[in-house]
């Protein structure tokens, strides 16, 4: 009986998180003029362990111009399966800023394949969602 109560509470918490995430995504879509995909090749699906941080430079070639910038990235393991990331890039009078949360979908240390889901917001002139 106690196990069923714990499972029920876990399901309720998961549903609340899903409803909040869905509301956030819909609000972000409704409040933006245009939505653009912003991602890169300098990421993987591995989340950092709790308390572990990382810092990196990411080169970016701008597709609309013959220009180039670096983005500094930082990540921090909030839990053993959730990592928070921030990015900042400066180019002439424009600023790229963004952040996302990444959560591991498989926590098996024995697996050679890492799978993660992420959600975030980035701004470079327009607001972009990262899903």
| pTM for the predicted model, two decimal places | 0.59
User: Where exactly are the structural domains of the chain?
Assistant: 1-31, 34-130
* Distance linking the first and last C-alpha atoms of the chain: 38
How many CB atoms within 10 Å of residue 87? 21
Q: What is the pLDDT of residues 49-93, one digit of tens each?
A: 889 888 888 887 766 666 777 889 899 989 888 999 999 988 777
Q: Which two tokens stand for residue 124?
A: 């470079």
What are residue 64's phi and psi, to 5 degrees? Answer: -85, -10
Tokens 């591991």 label which residue?
104
């Amino acid at each position: 009986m106690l196990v069923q109560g714990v499972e029920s509470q876990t399901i309720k918490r998961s549903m609340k998180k899903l409803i909040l995430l869905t509301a956030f995504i819909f609000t972000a879509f409704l409040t933006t003029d245009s939505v653009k995909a912003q991602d890169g090749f300098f990421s993987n699906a591995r989340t950092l362990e709790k308390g572990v941080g990382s810092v990196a430079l990411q080169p970016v070639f701008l597709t609309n111009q013959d220009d180039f910038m670096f983005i500094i990235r930082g990540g921090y393991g909030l839990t053993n399966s959730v990592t928070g990331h921030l990015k900042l890039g400066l180019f002439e009078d424009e600023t790229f800023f963004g952040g996302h949360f990444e959560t591991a979908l498989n926590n098996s240390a024995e697996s050679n394949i890492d799978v993660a889901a992420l959600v975030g917001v980035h701004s470079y002139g327009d607001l972009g969602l990262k899903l």
